[in-house]
Structure 1
Protein backbone atom coordinates (compact mmCIF):
# COMPACT_ATOMS: atom_id res chain seq x y z
CA UNK A 1 0.00 0.00 0.00
CA UNK A 2 2.92 2.36 0.69
CA UNK A 3 4.13 1.93 -2.90
CA UNK A 4 0.71 2.97 -4.20
CA UNK A 5 -0.11 5.95 -1.98
CA UNK A 6 3.22 7.36 -0.81
CA UNK A 7 3.80 9.42 -3.94
CA UNK A 8 4.16 13.11 -4.89
CA UNK A 9 1.04 15.26 -5.26
CA UNK A 10 0.88 15.16 -9.07
CA UNK A 11 1.00 11.37 -9.17
CA UNK A 12 -1.77 11.05 -6.57
CA UNK A 13 -3.95 13.52 -8.49
CA UNK A 14 -3.63 11.20 -11.50
CA UNK A 15 -4.57 8.26 -9.28
CA UNK A 16 -7.66 10.12 -8.03
CA UNK A 17 -8.74 11.20 -11.53
CA UNK A 18 -10.28 7.89 -12.54
CA UNK A 19 -13.98 7.78 -13.43
CA UNK A 20 -14.35 4.58 -11.45
CA UNK A 21 -13.65 6.59 -8.29
CA UNK A 22 -16.68 8.84 -8.75
CA UNK A 23 -19.46 6.40 -7.69
CA UNK A 24 -17.36 5.31 -4.70
CA UNK A 25 -16.91 8.91 -3.60
CA UNK A 26 -20.62 9.59 -4.14
CA UNK A 27 -21.46 6.65 -1.88
CA UNK A 28 -19.10 7.97 0.83
CA UNK A 29 -20.55 11.50 0.65
CA UNK A 30 -24.13 10.20 0.81
CA UNK A 31 -23.37 7.92 3.77
CA UNK A 32 -21.31 10.45 5.73
CA UNK A 33 -23.80 13.19 4.87
CA UNK A 34 -26.69 11.23 6.41
CA UNK A 35 -24.63 10.66 9.53
CA UNK A 36 -23.67 14.34 9.74
CA UNK A 37 -27.32 15.41 9.37
CA UNK A 38 -28.27 13.03 12.20
CA UNK A 39 -25.58 14.52 14.42
CA UNK A 40 -26.59 18.09 13.56
CA UNK A 41 -30.14 17.31 14.65
CA UNK A 42 -28.79 16.00 17.97
CA UNK A 43 -26.76 19.20 18.30
CA UNK A 44 -29.88 21.32 17.75
CA UNK A 45 -31.63 19.34 20.52
CA UNK A 46 -28.72 19.94 22.88
CA UNK A 47 -27.68 16.28 22.82
CA UNK A 48 -24.18 16.97 21.47
CA UNK A 49 -22.03 18.30 24.29
CA UNK A 50 -18.52 19.33 23.29
CA UNK A 51 -17.72 20.73 26.73
CA UNK A 52 -15.37 23.51 27.73
CA UNK A 53 -11.97 24.24 26.24
CA UNK A 54 -9.20 22.03 27.55
CA UNK A 55 -7.25 23.46 30.46
CA UNK A 56 -3.48 23.43 30.42
CA UNK A 57 -3.20 20.76 33.13
CA UNK A 58 -5.48 18.41 31.11
CA UNK A 59 -3.71 18.99 27.82
CA UNK A 60 -0.63 16.83 28.41
CA UNK A 61 -2.74 13.92 29.66
CA UNK A 62 -4.83 14.07 26.47
CA UNK A 63 -1.65 14.05 24.36
CA UNK A 64 -0.35 10.90 26.09
CA UNK A 65 -3.78 9.23 25.82
CA UNK A 66 -4.19 9.88 22.09
CA UNK A 67 -0.54 9.05 21.34
CA UNK A 68 -1.11 5.61 22.88
CA UNK A 69 -4.30 5.11 20.85
CA UNK A 70 -2.68 6.18 17.57
CA UNK A 71 0.36 3.98 18.27
CA UNK A 72 -1.96 1.03 18.88
CA UNK A 73 -3.97 1.72 15.74
CA UNK A 74 -0.86 2.00 13.54
CA UNK A 75 1.15 -0.70 15.33
CA UNK A 76 3.87 1.80 16.29
CA UNK A 77 6.33 0.96 19.05
CA UNK A 78 9.09 2.75 20.95
CA UNK A 79 8.23 6.31 20.00
CA UNK A 80 8.60 9.25 22.35
CA UNK A 81 5.94 11.94 22.61
CA UNK A 82 7.26 14.93 20.63
CA UNK A 83 7.33 18.39 22.15
CA UNK A 84 3.75 19.57 22.50
CA UNK A 85 2.33 22.96 23.32
CA UNK A 86 -1.17 24.32 23.74
CA UNK A 87 -1.50 27.50 21.72
CA UNK A 88 -3.44 30.48 23.08
CA UNK A 89 -3.46 34.19 22.21
CA UNK A 90 -0.76 34.90 24.78
CA UNK A 91 1.48 31.95 23.92
CA UNK A 92 2.05 32.46 20.22
CA UNK A 93 5.14 32.86 18.11
CA UNK A 94 7.10 36.01 17.50
CA UNK A 95 5.32 36.39 14.15
CA UNK A 96 2.05 37.10 15.93
CA UNK A 97 3.61 39.76 18.14
CA UNK A 98 5.34 41.51 15.23
CA UNK A 99 2.21 41.43 13.09
CA UNK A 100 0.10 42.74 15.95
CA UNK A 101 2.28 45.76 16.72
CA UNK A 102 2.99 46.56 13.04
CA UNK A 103 -0.60 46.60 11.81
CA UNK A 104 -1.72 50.01 13.24
CA UNK A 105 1.34 51.75 11.77
CA UNK A 106 0.72 50.18 8.38
CA UNK A 107 -2.90 51.31 8.38
CA UNK A 108 -1.87 54.85 9.26
CA UNK A 109 0.65 55.12 6.40
CA UNK A 110 -2.00 54.51 3.71
CA UNK A 111 0.55 53.46 1.06
CA UNK A 112 -0.52 50.57 -1.19
CA UNK A 113 2.63 48.57 -0.52
CA UNK A 114 2.11 49.02 3.19
CA UNK A 115 -1.55 48.05 2.97
CA UNK A 116 -0.60 44.88 1.08
CA UNK A 117 1.94 44.12 3.76
CA UNK A 118 -0.78 44.74 6.33
CA UNK A 119 -2.79 41.97 4.70
CA UNK A 120 0.17 39.67 5.16
CA UNK A 121 0.46 40.79 8.78
CA UNK A 122 -3.20 40.03 9.45
CA UNK A 123 -2.73 36.62 7.85
CA UNK A 124 0.21 36.01 10.17
CA UNK A 125 -1.99 36.91 13.14
CA UNK A 126 -4.73 34.52 12.04
CA UNK A 127 -2.34 31.68 11.33
CA UNK A 128 -0.57 32.12 14.64
CA UNK A 129 -3.80 32.30 16.59
CA UNK A 130 -5.87 29.57 15.00
CA UNK A 131 -3.66 27.00 13.26
CA UNK A 132 -2.61 23.82 14.95
CA UNK A 133 0.47 22.31 13.38
CA UNK A 134 3.38 19.89 13.44
CA UNK A 135 6.66 21.71 12.80
CA UNK A 136 8.97 19.16 11.22
CA UNK A 137 12.18 21.20 11.71
CA UNK A 138 11.69 21.53 15.46
CA UNK A 139 9.74 18.24 15.76
CA UNK A 140 7.10 20.10 17.74
CA UNK A 141 3.30 19.95 17.83
CA UNK A 142 1.22 23.01 18.63
CA UNK A 143 -2.51 22.67 19.26
CA UNK A 144 -4.87 25.62 19.41
CA UNK A 145 -6.94 25.67 22.60
CA UNK A 146 -10.16 23.77 21.78
CA UNK A 147 -12.79 21.59 23.42
CA UNK A 148 -11.79 18.09 24.53
CA UNK A 149 -13.11 16.23 21.49
CA UNK A 150 -11.60 18.52 18.88
CA UNK A 151 -8.30 18.63 20.79
CA UNK A 152 -8.10 14.82 20.64
CA UNK A 153 -8.93 14.76 16.92
CA UNK A 154 -6.41 17.47 16.06
CA UNK A 155 -3.67 15.90 18.17
CA UNK A 156 -4.24 12.54 16.43
CA UNK A 157 -3.85 14.34 13.09
CA UNK A 158 -0.68 16.25 14.03
CA UNK A 159 0.90 13.28 15.79
CA UNK A 160 0.34 11.28 12.59
CA UNK A 161 2.31 13.97 10.75
CA UNK A 162 5.12 13.45 13.27
CA UNK A 163 5.10 9.70 12.54
CA UNK A 164 5.04 10.32 8.78
CA UNK A 165 8.13 12.50 9.10
CA UNK A 166 9.91 10.12 11.45
CA UNK A 167 9.22 6.93 9.47
CA UNK A 168 8.93 8.11 5.85
CA UNK A 169 10.87 11.39 5.96
CA UNK A 170 8.02 13.08 4.09
CA UNK A 171 8.43 16.34 2.23
CA UNK A 172 5.34 18.15 3.52
CA UNK A 173 4.95 20.17 0.31
CA UNK A 174 5.81 17.51 -2.25
CA UNK A 175 3.73 14.90 -0.37
CA UNK A 176 0.99 17.17 0.98
CA UNK A 177 -1.84 15.18 -0.58
CA UNK A 178 -0.46 12.00 0.97
CA UNK A 179 0.29 13.45 4.42
CA UNK A 180 -3.12 15.11 4.78
CA UNK A 181 -5.15 12.21 3.40
CA UNK A 182 -3.35 9.73 5.63
CA UNK A 183 -3.66 11.89 8.78
CA UNK A 184 -7.36 12.59 8.17
CA UNK A 185 -7.95 8.87 7.74
CA UNK A 186 -6.17 8.09 11.01
CA UNK A 187 -8.23 10.61 12.99
CA UNK A 188 -11.46 9.31 11.39
CA UNK A 189 -10.58 5.70 12.21
CA UNK A 190 -9.68 6.60 15.79
CA UNK A 191 -13.02 8.37 16.30
CA UNK A 192 -14.93 5.35 15.00
CA UNK A 193 -13.17 3.07 17.50
CA UNK A 194 -14.78 4.95 20.41
CA UNK A 195 -17.08 2.46 22.15
CA UNK A 196 -19.16 4.76 24.40
CA UNK A 197 -22.22 5.90 22.35
CA UNK A 198 -22.65 9.42 23.77
CA UNK A 199 -18.95 10.24 23.55
CA UNK A 200 -18.81 8.73 20.07
CA UNK A 201 -21.53 11.10 18.82
CA UNK A 202 -19.59 14.06 20.22
CA UNK A 203 -16.44 12.80 18.51
CA UNK A 204 -18.19 12.09 15.20
CA UNK A 205 -19.80 15.52 15.12
CA UNK A 206 -16.43 17.24 15.61
CA UNK A 207 -14.69 14.99 13.09
CA UNK A 208 -17.31 15.32 10.35
CA UNK A 209 -17.52 19.07 10.84
CA UNK A 210 -13.79 19.17 10.06
CA UNK A 211 -13.80 16.73 7.14
CA UNK A 212 -17.11 16.67 5.29
CA UNK A 213 -16.98 19.90 3.26
CA UNK A 214 -13.59 18.87 1.86
CA UNK A 215 -15.10 15.68 0.45
CA UNK A 216 -17.69 17.72 -1.44
CA UNK A 217 -15.06 20.09 -2.79
CA UNK A 218 -12.92 17.19 -4.03
CA UNK A 219 -16.00 15.57 -5.59
CA UNK A 220 -16.92 18.74 -7.49
CA UNK A 221 -13.35 19.19 -8.77
CA UNK A 222 -13.08 15.52 -9.76
CA UNK A 223 -16.33 15.61 -11.75
CA UNK A 224 -15.31 18.89 -13.37
CA UNK A 225 -11.85 17.53 -14.30
CA UNK A 226 -13.36 14.38 -15.86
CA UNK A 227 -16.31 16.19 -17.47
CA UNK A 228 -18.86 14.16 -15.50
CA UNK A 229 -22.08 15.71 -14.21
CA UNK A 230 -22.09 15.76 -10.41
CA UNK A 231 -25.19 15.29 -8.27
CA UNK A 232 -26.34 18.63 -6.85
CA UNK A 233 -28.16 16.79 -4.07
CA UNK A 234 -24.80 15.55 -2.75
CA UNK A 235 -23.17 18.98 -3.05
CA UNK A 236 -26.01 20.53 -1.04
CA UNK A 237 -25.82 18.18 1.95
CA UNK A 238 -25.06 20.16 5.12
CA UNK A 239 -24.54 23.54 3.39
CA UNK A 240 -25.34 24.48 -0.23
CA UNK A 241 -22.33 24.34 -2.56
CA UNK A 242 -22.92 27.77 -4.09
CA UNK A 243 -21.75 29.41 -7.30
CA UNK A 244 -18.80 31.15 -5.63
CA UNK A 245 -17.37 27.81 -4.55
CA UNK A 246 -18.05 26.35 -7.99
CA UNK A 247 -16.14 29.20 -9.65
CA UNK A 248 -13.26 28.72 -7.22
CA UNK A 249 -13.00 25.00 -7.97
CA UNK A 250 -13.70 25.33 -11.70
CA UNK A 251 -11.52 23.62 -14.31
CA UNK A 252 -10.74 20.70 -12.08
CA UNK A 253 -8.55 22.58 -9.61
CA UNK A 254 -7.86 20.63 -6.42
CA UNK A 255 -6.80 21.57 -2.93
CA UNK A 256 -4.30 18.89 -1.96
CA UNK A 257 -5.80 18.64 1.54
CA UNK A 258 -9.27 17.84 0.16
CA UNK A 259 -7.97 15.66 -2.68
CA UNK A 260 -5.94 13.60 -0.21
CA UNK A 261 -8.99 13.25 2.01
CA UNK A 262 -11.06 11.96 -0.92
CA UNK A 263 -8.40 9.58 -2.25
CA UNK A 264 -7.74 7.94 1.11
CA UNK A 265 -11.46 7.59 1.83
CA UNK A 266 -11.86 5.85 -1.54
CA UNK A 267 -8.95 3.50 -0.85
CA UNK A 268 -10.26 2.78 2.66
CA UNK A 269 -13.65 1.92 1.16
CA UNK A 270 -11.98 -0.57 -1.20
CA UNK A 271 -9.15 -1.99 0.93
CA UNK A 272 -10.26 -1.42 4.55
CA UNK A 273 -8.95 0.56 7.52
CA UNK A 274 -5.65 -1.33 7.69
CA UNK A 275 -4.27 0.84 4.87
CA UNK A 276 -3.27 3.49 7.43
CA UNK A 277 -1.15 0.98 9.32
CA UNK A 278 0.24 -0.71 6.22
CA UNK A 279 1.61 2.56 4.86
CA UNK A 280 3.91 3.02 7.87
CA UNK A 281 5.13 -0.58 8.02
CA UNK A 282 8.54 -1.44 6.57
Structure 2
Protein backbone atom coordinates (compact mmCIF):
# COMPACT_ATOMS: atom_id res chain seq x y z
CA UNK A 1 0.00 0.00 0.00
CA UNK A 2 1.29 3.44 -0.91
CA UNK A 3 2.06 5.81 1.94
CA UNK A 4 -0.90 8.06 2.76
CA UNK A 5 -0.79 11.62 4.07
CA UNK A 6 -3.52 11.97 6.70
CA UNK A 7 -2.89 15.64 7.49
CA UNK A 8 -6.10 17.11 6.06
CA UNK A 9 -9.12 14.87 5.62
CA UNK A 10 -11.85 16.51 3.53
CA UNK A 11 -15.35 15.28 4.28
CA UNK A 12 -17.84 15.78 1.46
CA UNK A 13 -21.46 15.45 2.50
CA UNK A 14 -24.74 15.02 0.67
CA UNK A 15 -26.60 16.96 3.36
CA UNK A 16 -28.31 19.96 1.77
CA UNK A 17 -27.79 22.01 4.94
CA UNK A 18 -24.04 21.80 4.36
CA UNK A 19 -23.72 21.80 0.59
CA UNK A 20 -26.62 24.13 -0.26
CA UNK A 21 -26.59 24.37 -4.09
CA UNK A 22 -23.07 23.02 -4.57
CA UNK A 23 -22.26 19.78 -6.30
CA UNK A 24 -20.03 17.24 -4.58
CA UNK A 25 -17.45 17.36 -7.33
CA UNK A 26 -16.60 20.93 -6.33
CA UNK A 27 -14.25 19.34 -3.82
CA UNK A 28 -11.78 19.38 -6.71
CA UNK A 29 -10.99 22.96 -5.73
CA UNK A 30 -10.17 21.83 -2.19
CA UNK A 31 -7.92 19.11 -3.59
CA UNK A 32 -6.01 21.72 -5.54
CA UNK A 33 -5.59 23.53 -2.25
CA UNK A 34 -3.96 20.52 -0.65
CA UNK A 35 -6.58 18.24 0.93
CA UNK A 36 -4.92 14.84 1.34
CA UNK A 37 -7.94 12.52 1.64
CA UNK A 38 -11.62 12.76 0.75
CA UNK A 39 -14.66 11.16 2.33
CA UNK A 40 -17.95 10.44 0.54
CA UNK A 41 -20.97 10.19 2.82
CA UNK A 42 -24.63 9.73 1.94
CA UNK A 43 -26.78 7.95 4.47
CA UNK A 44 -30.17 8.84 3.03
CA UNK A 45 -30.20 8.21 -0.74
CA UNK A 46 -30.94 4.95 -2.54
CA UNK A 47 -27.92 2.77 -3.27
CA UNK A 48 -28.04 3.54 -7.00
CA UNK A 49 -27.75 7.26 -6.31
CA UNK A 50 -25.00 6.75 -3.73
CA UNK A 51 -22.96 4.71 -6.22
CA UNK A 52 -23.47 7.33 -8.94
CA UNK A 53 -22.37 10.15 -6.63
CA UNK A 54 -19.35 8.21 -5.41
CA UNK A 55 -18.25 7.49 -8.97
CA UNK A 56 -18.44 11.17 -9.88
CA UNK A 57 -16.41 12.06 -6.83
CA UNK A 58 -13.92 9.26 -7.48
CA UNK A 59 -13.31 10.58 -10.98
CA UNK A 60 -12.20 13.84 -9.37
CA UNK A 61 -10.02 12.35 -6.63
CA UNK A 62 -8.23 10.03 -9.06
CA UNK A 63 -7.02 13.06 -11.04
CA UNK A 64 -5.11 14.19 -7.97
CA UNK A 65 -4.11 10.68 -6.81
CA UNK A 66 -6.03 11.27 -3.59
CA UNK A 67 -7.72 8.33 -1.82
CA UNK A 68 -11.52 8.37 -1.64
CA UNK A 69 -13.08 6.90 1.48
CA UNK A 70 -16.66 5.64 1.41
CA UNK A 71 -18.51 6.24 4.63
CA UNK A 72 -20.11 3.13 6.13
CA UNK A 73 -20.83 1.37 2.83
CA UNK A 74 -18.48 -1.49 2.03
CA UNK A 75 -20.75 -2.54 -0.84
CA UNK A 76 -20.52 0.89 -2.49
CA UNK A 77 -16.77 0.98 -1.93
CA UNK A 78 -16.46 -2.33 -3.79
CA UNK A 79 -18.73 -1.18 -6.62
CA UNK A 80 -16.88 2.10 -7.13
CA UNK A 81 -13.35 0.92 -6.37
CA UNK A 82 -12.76 3.38 -3.54
CA UNK A 83 -9.35 3.21 -1.94
CA UNK A 84 -10.77 3.46 1.58
CA UNK A 85 -13.85 2.78 3.66
CA UNK A 86 -15.04 3.96 7.04
CA UNK A 87 -16.58 1.53 9.49
CA UNK A 88 -18.63 2.73 12.44
CA UNK A 89 -19.27 0.65 15.52
CA UNK A 90 -22.67 -0.37 14.12
CA UNK A 91 -21.45 -1.16 10.60
CA UNK A 92 -19.95 -4.29 9.08
CA UNK A 93 -17.25 -5.76 11.32
CA UNK A 94 -13.61 -5.00 10.58
CA UNK A 95 -12.57 -8.60 9.89
CA UNK A 96 -15.27 -9.13 7.26
CA UNK A 97 -14.58 -5.77 5.66
CA UNK A 98 -10.90 -6.64 5.34
CA UNK A 99 -11.72 -10.01 3.77
CA UNK A 100 -13.97 -8.33 1.21
CA UNK A 101 -11.76 -5.34 0.39
CA UNK A 102 -8.33 -6.95 0.55
CA UNK A 103 -5.05 -5.97 2.13
CA UNK A 104 -4.53 -2.83 0.04
CA UNK A 105 -7.73 -1.14 1.20
CA UNK A 106 -7.51 1.66 3.75
CA UNK A 107 -9.95 0.93 6.56
CA UNK A 108 -10.82 3.43 9.27
CA UNK A 109 -12.78 2.67 12.40
CA UNK A 110 -14.42 5.36 14.49
CA UNK A 111 -13.65 4.93 18.18
CA UNK A 112 -14.89 6.55 21.36
CA UNK A 113 -13.49 4.37 24.16
CA UNK A 114 -10.27 2.47 24.84
CA UNK A 115 -11.79 -0.97 24.18
CA UNK A 116 -12.82 0.11 20.68
CA UNK A 117 -9.35 1.52 20.04
CA UNK A 118 -7.68 -1.75 21.03
CA UNK A 119 -10.08 -3.81 18.91
CA UNK A 120 -9.54 -1.59 15.86
CA UNK A 121 -5.75 -1.40 16.09
CA UNK A 122 -5.22 -5.09 16.78
CA UNK A 123 -7.84 -6.04 14.22
CA UNK A 124 -6.01 -4.43 11.33
CA UNK A 125 -7.50 -0.94 10.96
CA UNK A 126 -5.19 1.42 9.07
CA UNK A 127 -6.26 4.32 11.20
CA UNK A 128 -8.81 5.27 13.81
CA UNK A 129 -11.00 8.33 13.98
CA UNK A 130 -11.20 9.87 17.45
CA UNK A 131 -13.50 12.73 18.28
CA UNK A 132 -14.80 15.23 18.92
CA UNK A 133 -11.61 17.15 18.30
CA UNK A 134 -12.17 19.76 21.02
CA UNK A 135 -13.90 17.77 23.75
CA UNK A 136 -15.14 18.69 27.19
CA UNK A 137 -12.79 18.14 30.11
CA UNK A 138 -14.28 14.72 30.90
CA UNK A 139 -13.74 13.65 27.30
CA UNK A 140 -10.22 15.07 27.14
CA UNK A 141 -8.85 12.46 29.54
CA UNK A 142 -10.52 9.75 27.48
CA UNK A 143 -8.99 11.04 24.24
CA UNK A 144 -5.52 11.15 25.78
CA UNK A 145 -5.98 7.66 27.22
CA UNK A 146 -6.94 6.36 23.77
CA UNK A 147 -3.82 7.92 22.25
CA UNK A 148 -1.62 6.39 24.93
CA UNK A 149 -3.14 2.97 24.24
CA UNK A 150 -2.67 3.32 20.47
CA UNK A 151 0.98 4.28 21.00
CA UNK A 152 1.55 1.40 23.43
CA UNK A 153 0.22 -1.13 20.92
CA UNK A 154 3.15 -0.24 18.68
CA UNK A 155 1.47 -1.17 15.40
CA UNK A 156 1.77 2.28 13.79
CA UNK A 157 -1.98 2.87 13.65
CA UNK A 158 -2.79 6.42 12.63
CA UNK A 159 -5.15 8.71 14.54
CA UNK A 160 -7.28 11.37 12.86
CA UNK A 161 -9.26 13.88 14.90
CA UNK A 162 -12.84 14.25 13.69
CA UNK A 163 -15.27 17.07 14.21
CA UNK A 164 -13.04 20.00 13.23
CA UNK A 165 -15.39 22.83 12.26
CA UNK A 166 -13.11 25.81 11.72
CA UNK A 167 -9.53 27.00 11.36
CA UNK A 168 -9.53 28.18 14.97
CA UNK A 169 -9.98 24.62 16.25
CA UNK A 170 -7.35 22.76 14.25
CA UNK A 171 -4.34 23.50 16.43
CA UNK A 172 -6.44 23.06 19.57
CA UNK A 173 -7.20 19.58 18.30
CA UNK A 174 -3.53 18.89 17.67
CA UNK A 175 -2.53 20.21 21.10
CA UNK A 176 -5.28 18.61 23.13
CA UNK A 177 -3.61 15.23 23.73
CA UNK A 178 -0.40 16.76 25.08
CA UNK A 179 -0.01 14.19 27.87
CA UNK A 180 0.10 11.29 25.43
CA UNK A 181 3.31 10.16 23.74
CA UNK A 182 1.38 9.79 20.49
CA UNK A 183 -0.23 12.88 18.99
CA UNK A 184 -2.93 13.38 16.38
CA UNK A 185 -1.75 12.56 12.84
CA UNK A 186 -4.36 14.62 11.04
CA UNK A 187 -7.70 16.40 11.19
CA UNK A 188 -10.99 15.89 9.38
CA UNK A 189 -13.03 18.87 8.23
CA UNK A 190 -16.30 19.33 6.34
CA UNK A 191 -17.94 22.75 6.30
CA UNK A 192 -14.68 24.69 6.64
CA UNK A 193 -13.74 23.69 3.08
CA UNK A 194 -16.72 22.46 1.09
CA UNK A 195 -18.92 25.46 1.91
CA UNK A 196 -16.15 28.06 1.80
CA UNK A 197 -16.38 30.81 -0.82
CA UNK A 198 -12.96 29.70 -2.07
CA UNK A 199 -12.49 25.97 -1.25
CA UNK A 200 -8.97 25.94 -2.69
CA UNK A 201 -7.81 28.81 -0.49
CA UNK A 202 -9.58 27.39 2.55
CA UNK A 203 -7.96 23.98 2.11
CA UNK A 204 -4.52 25.54 1.70
CA UNK A 205 -4.93 27.51 4.92
CA UNK A 206 -6.21 24.46 6.81
CA UNK A 207 -3.35 22.30 5.55
CA UNK A 208 -0.83 24.92 6.63
CA UNK A 209 -2.33 24.92 10.13
CA UNK A 210 -2.42 21.12 10.26
CA UNK A 211 1.27 20.87 9.38
CA UNK A 212 2.53 23.83 11.40
CA UNK A 213 3.82 23.70 14.98
CA UNK A 214 0.88 24.30 17.28
CA UNK A 215 0.84 27.77 18.81
CA UNK A 216 -1.03 26.69 21.94
CA UNK A 217 1.74 24.38 23.21
CA UNK A 218 1.43 20.63 23.58
CA UNK A 219 1.94 18.11 20.83
CA UNK A 220 1.41 19.20 17.25
CA UNK A 221 1.12 16.69 14.46
CA UNK A 222 4.28 15.97 12.48
CA UNK A 223 6.53 18.32 14.48
CA UNK A 224 9.39 18.08 16.91
CA UNK A 225 9.57 21.83 17.48
CA UNK A 226 8.58 21.98 21.14
CA UNK A 227 10.74 24.36 23.17
CA UNK A 228 11.62 23.35 26.70
CA UNK A 229 13.80 24.47 29.61
CA UNK A 230 16.09 27.45 29.18
CA UNK A 231 15.08 27.90 25.55
CA UNK A 232 11.46 28.44 26.57
CA UNK A 233 12.45 30.95 29.26
CA UNK A 234 14.55 32.89 26.75
CA UNK A 235 11.61 33.09 24.34
CA UNK A 236 9.26 34.32 27.06
CA UNK A 237 11.74 37.00 28.13
CA UNK A 238 12.18 38.08 24.51
CA UNK A 239 8.42 38.50 24.16
CA UNK A 240 8.23 40.60 27.33
CA UNK A 241 11.11 42.83 26.20
CA UNK A 242 9.58 43.26 22.75
CA UNK A 243 6.24 44.19 24.31
CA UNK A 244 7.92 46.89 26.39
CA UNK A 245 9.72 48.32 23.35
CA UNK A 246 6.77 48.29 20.95
CA UNK A 247 4.16 49.20 23.60
CA UNK A 248 1.19 47.50 21.93
CA UNK A 249 -2.35 47.96 23.20
CA UNK A 250 -2.98 45.00 25.47
CA UNK A 251 -5.85 44.60 27.88
CA UNK A 252 -4.76 42.70 31.00
CA UNK A 253 -7.69 40.54 32.12
CA UNK A 254 -8.02 39.71 35.80
CA UNK A 255 -9.23 36.43 37.20
CA UNK A 256 -9.09 34.91 40.67
CA UNK A 257 -6.36 32.43 39.80
CA UNK A 258 -3.75 34.87 38.48
CA UNK A 259 -4.85 38.24 39.83
CA UNK A 260 -1.80 38.64 42.09
CA UNK A 261 0.55 37.65 39.28
CA UNK A 262 -1.15 40.07 36.87
CA UNK A 263 -1.01 42.90 39.41
CA UNK A 264 2.74 42.46 39.84
CA UNK A 265 3.62 41.68 36.24
CA UNK A 266 2.61 44.99 34.65
CA UNK A 267 4.77 47.28 36.82
CA UNK A 268 7.68 44.85 36.96
CA UNK A 269 7.71 44.68 33.17
CA UNK A 270 7.38 48.48 32.94
CA UNK A 271 4.00 48.11 31.26
CA UNK A 272 1.96 50.33 33.59
CA UNK A 273 0.39 52.05 30.59
CA UNK A 274 -1.42 48.88 29.56
CA UNK A 275 -5.12 48.93 30.46
CA UNK A 276 -6.08 46.41 33.12
CA UNK A 277 -9.39 45.10 34.35
CA UNK A 278 -10.39 45.73 37.98
CA UNK A 279 -12.73 43.45 39.87
CA UNK A 280 -13.84 46.18 42.29
CA UNK A 281 -14.37 49.95 42.02
CA UNK A 282 -12.10 50.37 45.05
CA UNK A 283 -9.18 49.13 42.96
CA UNK A 284 -9.35 52.14 40.67
CA UNK A 285 -6.42 54.58 41.04
TM-score band w.r.t. shorter chain: under 0.3
With normalisation by structure 2, the TM-score equals: 0.22
Structure showing greater Rg: 2
- Which is richer in strand? 2
Structure with higher helix content: 1
